[in-house]
Structures are given as C-alpha cells and as structure tokens.
Amino acid sequence: MCGFIGFTNSIADDGAVLGEMMEKIVHRGPDSAGQYIDENVALGFRRLSIIDLKDGDQPIKNEDGSLVLTFNGEIYNYRELRRELKSLGHIFKTNSDSEVIVHGFEEFGRGVVNRLRGMFSFVIYNAVDNSIFGARDMFGIKPFYYSKMDDTFMFGSEIKAFLCHPKFEKRLNEKVLANYLSFQYSPTEKTFFRGVYKLPPAHCFSYKDGVFEAKRYWKPNFSPEQGALEYYADLVDRAVRESVEAHKIADVEVGSFLSSGIDSSYIAEAAKVDKTFTVGFEGDGDRYNEISYAKDFAATIGVQNISKVITSDEYFGSFPTIQYHMDEPLADPASIALYFVAKLASEHVKVVMSGEGADELFGGYRIYMEPLTATAYDVIPFPIRRIISKVCSLLPQRHGINFLVRRGKTIEERFIGNANIFSKKERKKLLLEDKGKAPHLLCRRFYDEVTDKDAVTKMQYLDINMWLMGDILLKADKTSMANSLELRVPFLDKKVMALAEKLPLECRVNTVTTKLALRKAAERTLPERTAMKDKLGFPVPIRLWLCEDKYYSLVREAFQSEAAKKYFNINYLLKLLDNHKSGKADNSRKIWTVYTFLVWYSQYFEV
C-alpha cells in the first residue's frame, strides 16, 4: 500500500518540487521513497511495505526500462499472473505484486486492467513515445486524482500534493459545494478544487501530447438467476471465504476491524486473524458503543479484541486534521470513528480487513426495503399521488408529510443514495448562490443504465456507482492511510461481485430484513444475534453533542465566521442550530454537513 504523485515535466526545479509533493503524502508510505525524473515526466512514490519487503520499491521498470510504473494497491492474483507472464518470456526482478502490472501492460496493453484482481490505481509512463497510461480499480477502492494546469498534467493519490506545484492554481469549485450539501460528499468527477478531477472507478485513461482520454472498462451487470436461498447461501459462503484467503496475502501481520454487526464479524471469523479492533463513544449505554458486543464475539471465535472509547473532546479535537486528510469535505460522522479505529490498529498491525461493500452488493441498507413495502396509500393511482406529493412539498417537513412527498415520486426522483441532506429547495434558502443541479439529476446517468431493472436493483446500482466511492471508500482509504495502515475489503472483490450480480431479489431483500443470502451464509459460523443484527454502521452521538453548550458554541462560532458569510445565509444557519438545541427539530445532519465544509475550508483556504 502506497501513494504516488507525478507530473509532466516543464519546470527547472523538478526534483525539489517532486520531493515537496511526495512529503505531503508521506503518511501513505513512510517506509521508503523513490523517484523517476526525465525531461518529460517526474514520478514520485512513497511505500508502505506489505509484499516483498526487501525488493518491492517503486518506481518499477520493465526489462529495457522503456515502461515505468507507480502503483498504489494490492493485486491478489499476482502469483498466477506472474507465472503466466514468465511463461511468455517476461523477466522479473522482484517478487512484488507491482511488477506484474508493468509486464502485464507490456503483454496485454490496456487489457491488463481486466486481468487484475485487487484494489489499485496506477500510472505507466512510456519513455519511448512519452505517453502515460493509468487506471483505477473497478470499485474505486484506491483514489486517483488528476489535473491539467497550463501545460502541466498532474496526477496522484491525494490532491494536497498538487498544491506544492508552481503551476497549480488553488481555487474553490463553488458548483461542487451545492451538490455536496445534498449528498454530504462531492458526487461527481469534479472536486472542490477547480480543475481537479477524480478518475471514476473502473476507468482507465491515456495521456499524450496534451490529450487526455478516459474509458470505462467494467460496469456492474445485475442479471438475477433462479435458485433457493440455501443454494445461494452456499455460494456466498464459498465466495467470501475464498476472497478472504486471497486478501490475506502479505508478508506482515493482518488484523481486522470489528463492530457488532454481520459484515466485519463475518470477515474476522473467516480470516482467522489474531487481533481485532473496535471503537465506541462514551455515554448513553451501548447505543453508541459496540465494544461489549465486539468483545463477546471476539471471545466466541478465540481472537483478541483491542478497543478504545472516544471522548467528545477527542472527536471534535481531531476533526480538522481528519478533514485535511480527506482532501475534500466528507460529512459522514462515521469517518471520525473510522480514523480512530485505524489509528488504534496501526499501533499493532500494518494491514486490516474490513466489511465495506457488503451492503451495496448484497442488499444491506434498510432503505432498500422501501420499494417492497406496500401501504394502503399505494392503491391510490400514481398520477393522483404525484399531485399530492407536489402540494405537500410546499409544506413544512414532517414525518407524515415526507411520506406523502416520497410516495408521489418515482425511485429515480426520490432516491439519491444513503444520504439526502439538503433538498434543492432548502439549498436556495441556505446558499447565497446555488450553482448546483437538483440532486436527482446528478443520478440520472446511472439510472438510465438500468431502466429495465427492479427498484431495489436500481438503488444498489446507484449506490455502487456513487455512494460507495464518494463516501464509504473515500473515508476508508483516507482514514487508514492517514495512519499508515492498509485497509482491505474482501467483499469488494471481482469474484464476489460476479456472484452478487446473479442473486435473485428474494435472496437480497424482503419486507422483513436485508442481506438474506449473506445472513444465511453467516449463520453457519456466527452467533444468531450477530448474523441477524440490524446494521448500525458507526453510530455517533452528534445529535446529542450539538445540544451541549460547549459544542453548540463551537459550531455557532463557525457559522458566524467570515468563510460562512461568503457562502451561506447566516440567519438560516443559526436558526437550524438553535432549533436543534431547543429540541424543535433534529437538524444534526444538516448542521454537521455545513460545519464539516467550514472546517475543511479552514484547512485549505485559510492557511
């Protein structure tokens, strides 16, 4: 696991600039560093040594030095690829997984991306024709950013490294702010830095003579087959356990995150790790603290559980640092919990496994049950419900009103993912200038690809393409790498995905529960209360903390800052905050989304 940075070379002090850029991502790879510089390109690499500790340093070249690779990630089928490539005449200098990519590209061209099983982002520089080829894994587990500033093309694992380059112009992308306020993350390829983009998951690109061309090489294809629940539970169990074994490949110790739920518990049990790691929050019994559940489960499978209780002061005190590491604001309160559990794990191991991706692939979110839940109201013809919805949308938001609004909209109109913070209507009140589109319009391109699918599958497809990369995997990568820890996600595996695509709807979700096939598979080795436990994620007591004078005052000060006055209607912000503190409404997610942006902004634009 590593980080890389690079740029097409047109500056005199290239070595010094590259070194400064590399220093910005030293947390991604504190073990060693490497550079490649010629008159056309500068490549920098920071390494966290996991496989081939002695000889796996980068950049790595092919036999004649014409191809130069920098790579972030792990390739779990590298041994099979290595044997195949050696049989075709390729000569390897290391035992690392990285080297199979450069020889694979030499042999298969851009088709190498379809042969890789793992998480990755990489670039390969061709010193003969001065072209660059790059790619990102199918789910977007590992990040890839790029920018064209003047005549310089920059690329790398984190945006913060770009800021060191003399050609980089730092400007806020205000259009993204509006979208972020609805999604709680930046939901498109555009980032909060104008002119900086994310390479989407499952995309590769070429760059030559100033021309950038990207192409998608894989898409999810949900094509359910027939079969009983027990049959698919067998297949799921085999696929998950085989994936876990593949993900255990390392020359260092591997641990596992552990919550009270099924996903991380299933992974920890299948992996047979020695150490598991859990965090919780103080106060309110076990509602925000899963440590006792995790310790009980760890004891049943005979592994050590190392835990930590996070105080409110630690949570708020670490928040600016965490937002700095995110590169872009992410208003998911669970990201701070993930940062602390990664920090805890990094004191004991270099690699951990985690349960990200199970919900998106196997149908784990309770919101997926909504399309299957019929009500007496649904017998009313949809055109009439649509009229009622439009009328109710003009009224103050309440639980019953929201139900009427949602039931008069199609799934494409009402579901934008697992976070829906500010509506377009609310954004107009909040922002001094709303430059974003209506939230559902940003989702249309993905819904258009699955017009023939059922509503649940549509929701899963959208989440795999947006929520998974924009929120779940962003916080997983950035919080683990901030602590020089490699995080592996066995559910997000190409073989597991191939099975998930075949699951019948009734093996994913029904009106009673979620992840039916996965739960049935896990029941065989996990206690029933773990296998059937409702999803909590990382529950965080933000709602309660924002009612305390100390944190209310902290947020209120931020809401009256000069940065807030540049973008927001201050009176509207303060009303949200005061109504929350007085108990008139639960505005915690809205407050936290704005506060997160302001804290992130202070890290990048007020320094």
DSSP letters of 109-177? GGGGGGG--EEEEEEEEETTTTEEEEEE-SS--S--EEEEETTEEEEES-GGGGGGSTT----B-HHHH
In which residue are the tokens 């940003």 written? 442
251 shares a domain with 209: no
Same domain, 267 and 312: yes
CATH number of residue 520's parent domain: 3.40.50.620
Residue 304: give the domain boundaries.
229-364+465-531
Contact indicator for 88, 67 with CB cutoff of 8 Å: no
Residue 252 pLDDT class (50, 70, 90 cuts) = confident
Domain shared by 212 and 251, yes or no: no
Active site residues: 2
Asked whether residue 537 carries a pLDDT value surpassing 60, the answer given is no
State mean pLDDT over 28-57: 84
Per-residue pLDDT, averaged over 514-538, amounts to 80
Which percentage of the chain shows pLDDT scores above 90?
82
| Residue 131 is assigned to a structural domain of this protein | yes
With a cut of 80, say whether residue 3 has pLDDT above it: yes
> Which of 155, 185, 216 corresponds to the end of one domain?
216
Q: Domains in the chain: how many in total?
A: 3
| Residue ending a domain, choose from 531, 550, 584 | 531
The band of 287, judged by pLDDT with boundaries at 50, 70 and 90, is: low
pTM above 0.75, yes or no: yes
- The pair phi, psi for residue 265, each rounded to 5°, is -65, -45
User: What value does the mean pLDDT take over residues 300-323?
Assistant: 95
63 and 141 belong to one structural domain: yes
Q: Considering the domain boundaries, does residue 192 fall inside one?
A: yes
| pLDDT reported for residue 218 | 97
Mean pLDDT of 560-587: 96
- pLDDT reported for residue 375: 77
pLDDT at 284: 58
Residue 44 shares a structural domain with residue 153: yes
- Alpha carbon distance 230, 607 (integer Å): 58
> What CATH number is associated with residue 136?
3.60.20.10
Q: Which two tokens stand for residue 32?
A: 């060693």
Length of the chain: 607
Q: Average pLDDT over the chain, rounded to whole? A: 93
Q: Is residue 412 part of a domain?
A: no
- Return phi, psi of residue 360, to 5°: -70, -40
Residues 527 and 546 in one domain: no
Residues 199 and 262 reside in one and the same domain? no
Task: Select the more confidently predicted residue: 529 or 135.
Answer: 135
User: Average pLDDT in the 196-211 region?
Assistant: 97
Is the pLDDT score of 419 beyond 90? yes
Sign, CA dihedral 78-83-89-92, equals: positive
Domain boundary pick from 485, 503, 531: 531
pLDDT tens sequence across 332-355:
999 999 999 999 999 999 999 999
Instruction: State the DSSP H helix or E strand holding residue 74, giving kind and residue range, or none if neither.
Output: strand 67-75
Looking at the structure, do residues 602 and 518 belong to the same domain, yes or no? no
Q: What is the pLDDT of residue 283?
A: 64
Residue 193 belongs to a domain: yes
Residues 124 and 208 in one domain: yes
Could you tell me the pLDDT band of residue 285, with boundaries at 50, 70 and 90? low
Whether 466 and 182 have beta carbons less than 8 Å apart is answered as: no
Confidence of residue 51 (pLDDT cuts 50, 70, 90): low
In a domain, 372, yes or no: no
Looking at residue 535, its pLDDT comes to: 60
Residue 33 shares a structural domain with residue 175? yes
187 shares a domain with 112: yes
**pLDDT class of 169 with cuts at 50, 70, 90:** very high
3-class DSSP state for residue 358? helix
Nearest CA among 20, 12, 359, 333 for reference residue 156 = 20
Q: Is 199 exposed, middle or buried (0-12, 13-18, 19+ CB in 10 A)?
A: buried
158 and 242 fall within a common domain: no
Phi-psi domain of 333 (left: phi exceeds 0; alpha: psi -120 through 50; beta: other): alpha
Residue 37 has pLDDT above 60, yes or no: yes
Percent of the chain with pLDDT over 70: 97
Q: What is the mean pLDDT of residues 500-517?
A: 96
